Structure 1
Amino acid sequence: MPKLLTISLVCACLLPLGDSRAAGALASPAAIVDAAILPLMAEHDVPGMAVAITVNGQASFHNYGLASRAAKLPVNEHTLFELGSISKTFTATLASYAQVLGKLSLNDHPGRFMPALKGRSIDRAALIHLATYTAGGLPLQFPDEVEPEGMSAYFQQWRPSAAPGTRREYSNPSLGLLGHVTALALKSSFTDAMQNRLFPQLGLRDSYIQVPDAQMDRYAWGYSKANAEIRVSPGVFAEQAYGVKSTAADMIRYVQAQIDPQHLNLNMQRAIAGTQLGYFKVGEMVQGLGWEQYPFPITLDRLLAGNSADMIFESNPAQRPAAAQMQALSTRPTLFNKTGSTAGFGSCVLYVPELKIGVVMLANKNVDITARITAAHAILIQLAQLAPQPARPTTPPRR
């Protein structure tokens, strides 16, 4: 770690929140964030990080270190980072949006849109199984020998290890196929559907699948474990599973849209609501569309268990929660969580809609997930202590 860590702090203009506890915290947001982020960066030799928090609709930005060590370019809230698997939440939102438009149903099977898959094992799974990694045993990654032109052939020959809806196995091919089918349903390329339909409707001005040439100077360099500069490589379904590049400014805007989507058009409001449904209970976690859910408050140990290597690399039993279970969960605030990684970047997003709080952490190094979750949880817990208590729900639960 360099002896001198360049730190820049840029805070959005913060208005009084009407709650004395929240107002006191937001008067010095750096204290909360610095206490969690500076030790993480020092321990893991992270070149740069962009962190954003939101409380009751007000955002602040906390920027640390360098987007490029070679160019000595400081990070700011407009620096582009690779989001890794947080991209899956956008893919899931696009699928939910397509369902709202009547272009597909999550109960459809992939063969409806890819005739070559009709009658194949993969076609026993519905799109909701692809969206929740419960199709029956799709792998974490495509085998190395699979090229983009061989994607359909791979799914034609794939054989399940479990019935759809019984096991969760985290999978890029699973979510990737969902995104591919969604683009077919929308009669668009996936990149076009994301960049020209979804992102603008979410109010995201600096989020890309393909970073334009004119914006490349804002695209941070990632750093490998050996501190070599690196960026994400193309791959089968890379765009759908881990291909979004975005900024802290756009990502906190995205989180705020999850918390309060009323400024969006009605179709997009419904699409977001669709991603916040819970479909399968897996250990301590409920798997939704892209987002992973927990009752809040939650201990760090429970959140770490839900983000553990076992949850990423192993097959875990999945159960559809009974209506009574989901009703019980709905009486407490819900934490939504997603992490993402590429070879040179690591990210984390957590938010609690009922408390109107959220955290975005973007780093240009693939920091250990445990460290990311620990830091984000520490920030969120302190924000929660300052947030007004939510009113008891008077409408039917989201789920």
Structure 2
Amino acid sequence: MHLHAFVLASLCVLPLSGKAAPDKAAIRDAVDKAIKPMMAQHDVPGLAVAVTVDGHVSFFNYGLASKEKQIPVSETTLFELGSVSKTFTATLGCYAKGQGKLSFDDHPSKYMPQLKGSAIDRASLLELGTYTAGGLPLQFPDEAEDDAKMPAYFRNWTPDAPPGMQRRYSNPSIGLFGHLAALALQSNFSDAMEGRLFPALGLKHSHIRVPAAAMSDYAWGYNSANKAVRVNPGVFDAEAYGVKSSAADMIRFVQANIDPGQLAEPMREAVQCTHTGYFQIGGMVQGLGWEQYRAPVSLAQLQAGNSEKMSRGLNPATHLQPPQAPSRGTLFNKTGATGGFGAYVLFVPDERVGIVMLANKNYPIPARIQAAHAILEQLRK
């Protein structure tokens, strides 16, 4: 595999402290040791890594954004985030709540009257946003193949469990949460994200609908047959997996999560809102968007929380009463993928450390977790 790596280190995006810059050579060594073998093993064409330590950012760019045109990856290359997009959907919902436009205790029919009296209307917005509405599937079935058929699908849906009892990771679930948040804001979801949320977060190179002027930065993804692909449209694609962003923007977003105090209101409150834990599922705490782990966090615990059992199974959920603020040392993370892309984001606010990994191949999640954990352990030394 052709592998081209280069680094732009110590670019300060949102300085969080006055501490001296960390050892750039040590960070590069840690990232190279974790990333290069993994890319070779899984034949990943290109990968962008961004690391923040005490507010100092380093970028590490490997391989190609387009194999056909031999375009190298850079910190401004646009990658499909897949389900990491859900962290932005959650932030938009928190923004709407902070504006007094919705309550997490609301039910769907408040914003979609056609759902009144249906089983889905027994779930709250919070339960939709935390995948605990009662067993919505991972993906929409074929009979809900377009937006026009979406309301009928939810009206006819039959739950597997009462709301708040079980977690089943679901695009329709958080997709409906995002859709209702946009309705509460009297907006189209994509307009709300691109017109309100991204600018308020200082993200200038993040999109749901990539404009023509940014297409040259949009990487090609590569599927299991190494064919160049990009994401296909679908019901609630924007809400569940539709954001395209760069390592530069994503590390800025991570820094905003590490220290929301850097943001102006109401975005500060919206970001802080996504850090609340609502349900305990095994060793993981489910918030809105982000998934949390209480310190100390082992590699095995991270792997279990991001396992296929967690992403595809129906798992018992314990409602945390009252909802939990993060404890000291809490680690936040989220994986994401589309047919040709794989992403992973991790940060520990108390340690002022964060890692972004964006690739143009959907390589195995355990490999992402292992690489990021290895980098984190080296950053802690």
Matched, 1:384 2:372: no
> Counterpart in 2 of 1:393?
none
Match of 1:337 in 2: 333
Asked if 1:104 is matched to 2:93, the reply is: no
Q: 1:117 — aligned with what?
A: 115
Residue 149 of structure 1 aligns with which residue?
A: 148
- 1:186-229 deviations in Å (ceiling 9; x for gaps): 01100100001000000000000000011101000000111000
User: 1:13 Cα shift?
Assistant: 3.9
Q: Which residue of 2 aligns with 1:397?
A: none
CA distance in 2, matches of 1:126, 1:221: 38
Q: Aligned letter for 2:341? A: F
SS of 1:358 mapped into structure 2: strand
Question: What residue is the counterpart of 1:12 in the other structure?
Answer: 10
Q: Distance in 1 between matches of 2:16 and 2:80?
A: 33
Task: Structure 2: state its 5+ residue gaps.
Answer: none
Question: Which stretch of the first structure deviates more once superposed, 25-34 or 153-162?
Answer: 25-34
* Equivalent runs, 1:191-340 vs 2, <5 Å: 191-322=190-321, 326=324, 330=327, 332-340=328-336
Render the CA deviation track for 1:295-346: whole Å, top value 9, x for unaligned. 13311111100000000110000002355x958x72x310000000000000
Aligned partners of 1:138, 1:216: CA distance in 2, in Å? Answer: 34
Instruction: Please say if residues 9 and 24 of structure 2, whose CA atoms lie closer than 8 Å, have aligned partners that are also in contact.
Output: no
Give the drift of 1:265.
1.4
The alignment partner of 1:208 has SS state of coil
Contact 2:136–2:159 (Cα < 8 Å) also in 1:
yes
User: CA 1:245 to 1:17, structure 2 compared with 1: closer, same or farther past 3 Å?
Assistant: same
The correspondence for 1:360, drawn from 334, 349, 356, is: 356
List per-residue Cα deviations over 1:128-160 (Å, max 9, x = no partner): 000000000100000023121100000000111
Distance 2:336 2:16 in 1: 33
Question: Counterpart amino acid of 1:152?
Answer: P
Write out per-residue CA displacement over residues 265-305 of structure 1, whole angstroms, 9 at most, x where no aligned residue: 12111111110000000000000000000013311111100
Distance 2:211 2:95 in 1: 25
The one-letter code sitting in structure 2 at the alignment partner of 1:157 is N
Is contact 1:205-1:250 (8 Å) kept?
Answer: yes
Report if aligned partners of 2:19, 2:54 keep a CA contact under 8 Å in 1. Answer: no
In 2, are the aligned partners of 1:51 and 1:362 still within 8 Å (CA)?
yes
Matched residue of 1:67: which SS? strand
The separation in 2 between residues aligned to 1:302 and 1:16, in whole angstroms, is 29
Is residue 162 from structure 1 mapped to residue 161 from structure 2 by the alignment?
yes
Aligned-partner Cα distance in 2 for 1:193–1:203: 15
- 373-382 vs 193-202, greater mean Cα deviation: 373-382
Q: How many angstroms apart in 2 are the aligned matches of 1:364 and 1:9?
A: 18
CA displacement at 1:19 relative to structure 2: 6.1
* Cα shift at 1:66: 0.2
> Counterpart of 1:356 in structure 2: which amino acid?
R
Contact 1:108–1:127 at 8 Å: present in 2 too?
Answer: yes
Which residue of 23, 27, 32 maps to 1:34?
32
* Alpha carbons 1:347, 1:363 under 8 Å: kept: yes
- Aligned-residue offset at 1:18: 6.7
Q: Is the 2:16–2:259 Cα contact (8 Å) retained in structure 1?
A: no
Structure-1 separation of matches of 2:18 and 2:331: 24
SS for the counterpart of 2:297 is coil
- Per the normalisation by structure 2, the TM-score is 0.96
Identical amino acids, percent of aligned pairs = 58
Distance 1:341 1:49 in 2: 13
Distance 1:58 1:220 in 2: 26
Q: Which runs of 5+ in 1 are unaligned?
A: 386-399
Are the equivalent residues in 2 in contact too, given 1:183–1:189 (CA < 8 A)? yes
Instruction: Compute the displacement of 1:119 (Å).
Output: 1.1
* Structure 1 contact 8–75 (Cα < 8 Å) conserved: no
Aligned residue identity for 2:337: S
- Report the Cα distance in structure 2 between the residues aligned to 1:296 and 1:247, rounded to whole angstroms: 29
Once the 2 structures are TM-superposed, how far is the Cα of residue 358 of structure 1 from its aligned partner? 0.2
Give the CA RMSD over aligned residues: 1.7
Q: Report how many aligned residue pairs link the two structures.
A: 378
Which residue is equivalent to 2:369? 373
Letter in 1 for 2:207: Y
Check whether the contact 1:53–1:358 (CA below 8 A) recurs between aligned residues: yes
Secondary structure, in 3 states, of the residue corresponding to 2:209? coil
How big is each residue's C-alpha offset from its partner over 1:160-203, in whole Å with a ceiling of 9 and x where there is no partner?
Answer: 11010000000000000001101100011001000010000000
The structure 1 segments of at least 4 consecutive aligned residues displaced by more than 2 Å after TM superposition are: 12-20, 25-29
Structure 2 CA distance for aligned equivalents of residues 6 and 265 of structure 1: 39
Partners of 1:10 and 1:76 within 8 A in 2 = no
Residue 196 of structure 1 aligns with an amino acid whose one-letter code is G
Cα offset, 1:11, TM superposition: 1.8
CA distance in 2, matches of 1:294, 1:383: 18
